[in-house]
Structure formats: structure tokens, C-alpha cells
Amino acid sequence: MTKSPVLILGARSDIGLAVAHAYAAQGHPVHLAARNAGSLETRKTDLELRHSVPVTLHEFDALELEDHERFADALPELPGIAVSAIGFMGEQGESENSPAAAVQVLRSNFEGPASILAVLASRFEQRGSGTLVGISSVAGDRGRATNYVYGSAKAGFTAFLSGLRNRLARKGVHVVTVLPGFVATQMTEGMDLPEKLTAQPEEVARAITDATAKQKSVVYVRPVWRLIMLIIRNIPEGVFKKMSI
Amino acid sequence: MRGLSGWGNYPVSQAQLLAPRSEAELKRLITESPSVIARGNGRAYGDSAVGVPTTLHMRHFNKMISFDATTGLLVAEGGVLLGDVISAFLPRGWFPAVVPGTKFVTLGGAIAADVHGKNHHKDGSFRSCLDWVEVMGPDGTVRRCSARENSELFNWTAGGMGLTGVILRAAIRLRRVPSAWIRQQTTPAANLDAAIEIFERSADATYSVAWIDCLAGGDKLGRSLVMLGEHAGLQDLSYAQAAQPFAIPRASRRTVPPVFPSFALNRFSVRAFNAAYYWAGARKAGRQITGYDSFFFPLDALLGWNRIYGRKGFAQFQCVLPLDSARAGLRALLKAISAAGQGSFLAVLKRLGPQDSPFSFPMEGYTLALDFPVNRRSLQLMQDLDRITIAHGGRFYLAKDSRMSRDTLRAADPRAAEYAGMRQMSGLHPSFQSAQSQRLSL
């Protein structure tokens, strides 16, 4: 049986690439979508050599909203699974001082991913099948002083995915929200992350392939994060505002 | 800066681990740092891949570049794991021509250590399946080298412990195999002489290795289980196996708890383990069909097995003794080990074939590998083993070493001085240094 193709949005990211490898290893053809897609040529060859699956490259910019319909039309076929690994952390200090920088973070983590998933959602809905995977963040579970601009965009995206799942549940389309916690990627390189709480991109990828296979809805890549965020969400505001976490 | 060590968790050095993602970035790090060393997957036992202060984590260079399905030539970046090569190409009937005892080693690491496998007596070391290597030198220039082109660089790079530059890409030849199964023949050998006799008789076997009970003494000194292996053909397989010759049921992987209690490891438990292993093996002696994974990489199934030795870590001792003095040398080594009561869970004896490359470990003879938990007594014992090895004309495997002295290496291996001289002359010395190369003045 030929497996359905998987579209990776934000395919240049470490998590996006790891997800591409994980699906390709299961025999899925892969469409890699990213800015400057031509530079992913060596990644395409690597994926094809390792997994003997067809891989295609697609130019895609999450922030060019008016282009999203055209992007979806231009895909060789409507994928069975689409994974958004789009994200941009920015720098909190910069986001606080420059509205333009903050908007960039908000658009990259919320507006862009939500827009393209909305476009794909209506096509999946029409077809009556498919899985949409959004990689959000535990940072969206509660705003913290150290990264609330990024966190609030992810909060918006998490709510968007939740609503989308609710809307499409009866239409045969499944929506997965992935909350990775700390991941050792280019985005977090140089940050001092606690080793025991930090996942590798391959771990996130495995969580995603598992979640799509088992039709899970909200996945914390490392289960301990569910507990950590439960606690953090429930700290009374009066206490929380005096804390620095 | 952080504490960084090799697979043996000993010694730990303060190092800065940088992970370049492009050749341009790599070039900048090499040219701007006082000295660097590349690190693959950290499977070298000691400090060969620990750069003080700068260590280059090379795992982002992990792309496969091309594969020729007529010749089996694979071109890939240095950070690709041998395990990745196997998972990609074994289902298509190809297997690396030479594999060490772990598949979690990068191509770059396998080249730098010029690893050998259970087929060294027939096929030589990793170098023998290398068509070419691309190395980034001190000024950031990438040079391709092979037996014909830049052959001096090629010769020193294979087995050069990363001290000739950073291995970026390589072309390795894979071999065609009929299945993912191995036809294994296990023969108990009552003592060292019997084991050697089996090896000498089995020169035709593609793969051979012995697990040796290093705590047995007296007339049982050197008792072993000798294992021979061939790639199984379809006729060797059961109907179900032959229907899908490259599909092997996934073995369960176990992970060792972060810190294994050290009281579990003492001379009594090791002696009991060794004896039990020998008798279990002797009972099951004979022919069997086994998966490639359990034949080549038995320890890989136990992820994090290095933690068995606890926080202080462990050290490996691996030497090779030339053929004519091997018997006497091995006997002396085993006697010293057995007398010290410092046994090892994993002691491996292997017949190596001839090899004449400038700085690679193997030579025609017998190699003995053991590991010991790091403590004062075992460090003392290993110094005794060093002396016995040198007295018998043997030399040491740098990929396993974590504690040798400069003088020991110089006494065992005249090539070390030559290598160090070449590094000085060609200006490689200041740019590429590991904690090990500093310790050994390479």
C-alpha cells in the first residue's frame, strides 16, 4: 500500500527535518516546504537515499499570507498529513522594546502557521480526511516575564488548534497539538537548558508520528511537562507575579 | 565550559563544545580557535575526542550524499552514524565492509580511529573500504585525499585520531550481503592454547572473535568462547526468515539506570558472571542463525552500558601483540589480570591480519581488549599490562586509551614520534589537539 504524502511546513528547522525523517522512515513521501527551498536540495537527497521515498521541495513563506492559497494549489497532491514546524523565538528584550520585532514573533508563531493550516483545513475538510499537526509550545500555557511575546503567540496558536480540532472532529479530519517543552535545536542553541527536561528533535518527531497513528489530540513530548505546566498554570496570580521563572 | 569525557566517563575535562552547522562556520571555528578537535558520537573511550578547550560537535554534518547501487559506493558526511548506514542500506542488501563493536560510531570517528572488525584478518581495517576522505585543514581548506591523491594525508588521516584535520566527507564501499542474518558457530576453548588453535584453523571464516574469561587461572587460563560468523544465505534461513531476509524482528532495547550501584560490581560478581557466561555459551555451542545486530553489536542493545561502572567511569585496555610473541604475551597479560582479580565483564580476543599503515592500530597478531572500573588498583594493573605488552613487542589502541603516558606510547610504537614530527612540520600540531594528543605529545 502506498502511504500518503506528508507536508512539512518549516522544513528547515531541526524539528521539521527530524519529522521528515521519521515519516520517510515509515515509507511516506515527503514534501518539504520552507523559505529558500532550493537550499534544501542536499536534505532532499539525504532523505531519498536513506529512506527510498520521493521528496519534493516547495517554496513557502509563512508570513506571505496572500500566497498561502496558491502554495496549497501548487502542491503535487493534497497531503494526507501536514505538520507545521514553523516558529521563531526572537529575543524577549528586543520584543519588549521594538514593536516591529514583537510583531515578527507574533506573526511567525501564530498568524503564519494559523493561516496556512486554515487553508489546508478547508481542503482536508472537503476531502473528509487528513491530519493536521501544529507544533506549539508549553510556553503558551502561561505567560512568563522571560518570554511572554513568544509565549502569547504560541498560546494563540494552541487555542487555534483546539478550535480547529473541535470544528473538524466530525468531518473526519484530525488535529494534533504538540507541546515540546525544551528541545535541543538551533533555536535554543547556547541557552542553558536543564538536561533532564530537554528533548532531542528526534524525540519530538517520534511523538508526532505516534500521535498521528494513535489519533492523539494534545501531546506533551515529555510527559513530565504536563505536570510542570499544570503546576505553573495553577500558581495564584498574586504569587506568580512576584516570581521569576 | 563543561565537563566532557569519552564513553568511559574518564577522564573528565573542562571543554567548550561547539556545534557548527556549515562549512563556513566550521572554517571560522578552526581558524579562530587556538586548537580544536572534532568529536563524533563520543564513542571513543577516553579523551581522544575531547578538545581542550575547544571540541567540535560534528553531528550536524550528517547527510548522505550519493549511493551507487552498482558498486556499493556511499558518499556521506562525517557525522553520519554507521547505524544510519546500516538502517538505510541493509534492507537493500548492503552492509558496511568493516564495522567495529558498536554501530553508534560516526564515519568520521571510524576513519579517525581506523576501526577494525571481526573480519580484520580477512578484510583489513576501515581504511580498506575507504575510497576517499575530505579533510578540512588548519586554514579551512578542504582537501580530498585517497590512496592515489594526497596519499600522505590519506595515510595519516586513517588512524590519525582526528589530528590531521576535520573529516568532512568520505566515500566508503559497502558489501553485498544475502540477508541480515549471520550463521554463527560457537566453539568453547578450554584454555588459551585451544583458543589460538581455533583462530589459526579458522583463517577462512569471514568473521571471528572470542569472548575470553579473564579471571580463570591455572590450566583454564584464557578459556574462551570462539565465535565464527558468515553472512547467512537464503538456504541457511527458515522459510519465514527467507521470505524477508532483511527483516529482523526488533530486539528490545534496555537502558541502564543513570547510576548503576557500584556494589553490584566486584570481583565476586564479575567472576560469577564470567563463569556463568562461559558455561551458558559452552552449553549452547554449535551453529545458530543470529541477527546481525546481536552478532556485531551485542552491547548496543544495552543503551548506556557504560554507566554500569558508576560515576568514576571505566577504562579500556586494548593492545595487539605480534604473532610470534602473542602466545607468551597473552599468557602473561592474563596471568597478571587473573592474579590481580581485576576482571572485566567484557574481554575480547581477536586475531588480526597484516596491516601496514602509518599510524593505524592493527598489526598481524592477537588483540586483547578489556575494561576495568577506574580505581587505584586497576590503574596500577593497567600499567603492568602496558609493560607486559611492550616487552612482547605489542602496541596500544588509541581509541580506547584514556590514561597511557607519553613514554609508554613512545616505547611501544616508534610511529608515534614520526607522526608527531609530521604534525609539527606540516603545521597541523597547533590547530588540532585533543586532551589525548596533549597527554601523549602527538
pLDDT of residue B328: 97
What angle do the packed helices A41-51 and A14-25 form, to 10 degrees?
30
Mutate which of B18, B63, B80, B94 to test chain A, going by most A C-beta atoms within 10 A?
B63
Report the pLDDT value the prediction gives residue A19, as an integer from 0 to 100: 98
Q: Tell me how far CA of residue B57 lies from CA of B49, B269, B382, in angstroms.
A: 9, 37, 30
Mean pLDDT of A104-116: 97
CB B52 within 8 A of CB B435: yes
Q: Touching check for B289 and chain A: CB below 8 Å?
A: no
For residue B85, the model assigns a pLDDT of: 97
| Mean pLDDT computed over B357-372 | 95
Q: What is the structure's pLDDT at B298?
A: 83
> Please, what is the average pLDDT of chain B?
92
Q: Is the pLDDT of residue B282 over 80?
A: no
pLDDT at B303: 72
What is the enclosing helix (H) or strand (E) of B331?
helix B323-340
Closest-approach residue (CA) in chain B for A190? B18
pLDDT score at A98: 96
Which chain B residues are Cβ-neighbours of A189 within 8 angstroms? 19
- State how far residue A135 is from chain B, nearest Cα, in angstroms: 22
- Interval B384-409 mean pLDDT: 97
Beta bridge partners of residue A33, listed in sequence order = A9, A58
Q: What is the mean pLDDT of chain A?
A: 95
Which residues of chain B neighbour A200 with C-beta distances below 8 Å?
none
Q: What percent of chain B has pLDDT over 70?
A: 95
On chain A, the residues whose CB falls within 8 A of the CB of B63 are 42-43, 45-46
| A220 a catalytic residue | no
Is the pLDDT reported for residue A129 higher than 90? yes
B271: confidence class by pLDDT, cuts 50, 70, 90: confident
- pLDDT bin (cut points 50, 70, 90) of residue B266 is low
Three-state DSSP class for residue B136: strand
Selected residues 72-101 of chain B with any CB under 8 Å from a CB in chain A:
84, 87-88, 92
- How many C-beta atoms surround the C-beta of residue A78 within 10 A? 18
Write down the pLDDT at residue A233: 92
The pLDDT of residue B360 is 97
Model confidence at B261: pLDDT above 80: no
Residue B389, pLDDT > 80, answer yes
Chain B touched by A244 (CB under 8 Å): no
CA distance A43 to chain B (A): 7
- pLDDT tier for residue B265 given thresholds of 50, 70 and 90: low
List CB contacts of A64: < 8 A, sequence separation 6 or more.
Answer: none
Nearest residue in chain B measured CA to CA from A51: B88
Is some CB atom of chain A closer than 8 A to the CB atom of B277?
A: no
From B75, B66, B93, B69, select the one nearest B131 (Cα to Cα).
B75
Q: Which residues of chain B lie closer than 8 angstroms to A43, CB-CB?
A: 63
Q: Which residues make Cβ contacts (< 8 Å) with residue B22, sequence separation at least 6?
A: none
Mean pLDDT along residues B282-298: 87
User: Which of the residue ranges B245-259, B345-359, B385-399 would you say has the lowest mean pLDDT?
Assistant: B245-259
Q: Does B17 touch chain A (CB under 8 A)?
A: no
d(CA B18, nearest CA chain A) in Å: 9
Tell me whether A52 touches chain B (CB under 8 Å).
Answer: yes
Instruction: Kindly state the average pLDDT of the residues B368-394.
Output: 95
Residue of chain B whose Cα is closest to the Cα of A40: B63
Query: Where is average pLDDT lowest: A113-117, B249-253, B362-366?
Result: B249-253
DSSP code per residue over B27-66: HHHHHHSS-EEEESSS-SSSSTT--SSEEEE-TT---EEE
Interchain CB contact of B18 with A (< 8 Å): no
A-to-B residue pairs, Cβ atoms closer than 8 angstroms: 24
Mean pLDDT on A192-220: 94
Of B19, B21, B67, the CB nearest to A49: B67
ipTM value, please give it: 0.89
Q: What is the pLDDT of residues A58-97, one digit of tens each?
A: 999 999 999 999 999 999 999 999 999 999 999 999 999 9
State whether residue A26 sits within 8 Å of chain B by CB.
no
Q: What number is the average pLDDT over the span A112-132?
A: 98
CB contact under 8 A, A42 and B65: yes
Q: Given a cut of 60, is residue B259 above it in pLDDT?
A: no
Q: Report residue B82 as a C-alpha cell.
A: 554507521
Nearest by CB to residue A45, choosing from B65, B84, B92, is: B65
Contact indicator for A92, A150 with CB cutoff of 8 Å: yes
Which chain B residues have a beta carbon less than 8 Å from that of A46? 63-65
Which residues neighbour B368 within 8 Å (Cβ) at sequence distance 6 or greater? B212, B317, B318, B319, B321, B330, B333, B347, B348, B349
Structure confidence by residue, pLDDT tens digits, A19-63: 999 999 999 999 999 999 999 999 999 999 999 999 999 999 999
The pLDDT-based confidence of B263 (bands split at 50, 70, 90) is: low
pLDDT at B262 over 70: no
Pick from B91-105, B268-282, B310-324, B418-432: least confident: B268-282
pLDDT of A1: 59
Question: Highest-confidence range of B212-221, B270-279, B432-441, by mean pLDDT?
Answer: B432-441
Predicted confidence (pLDDT) per residue in A168-205, tens digit: 999 999 999 999 999 999 888 888 888 889 999 999 99
Q: Do B21 and A50 touch (CB under 8 A)?
A: no
pLDDT score, position B83:
96
Say yes or no for a CB contact (<8 Å) between A186 and B84: no
Bridge partner residues of A219 (DSSP) = A178
Q: Is A120 exposed, middle or buried (0-12, 13-18, 19+ CB in 10 A)?
A: buried
In this structure, what DSSP letter does residue A44 have? Answer: H
Q: Please give the model's pTM, rounded to 2 decimal places.
A: 0.93
Report the distance separating Cα A55 and Cα A48, nearest Å: 6
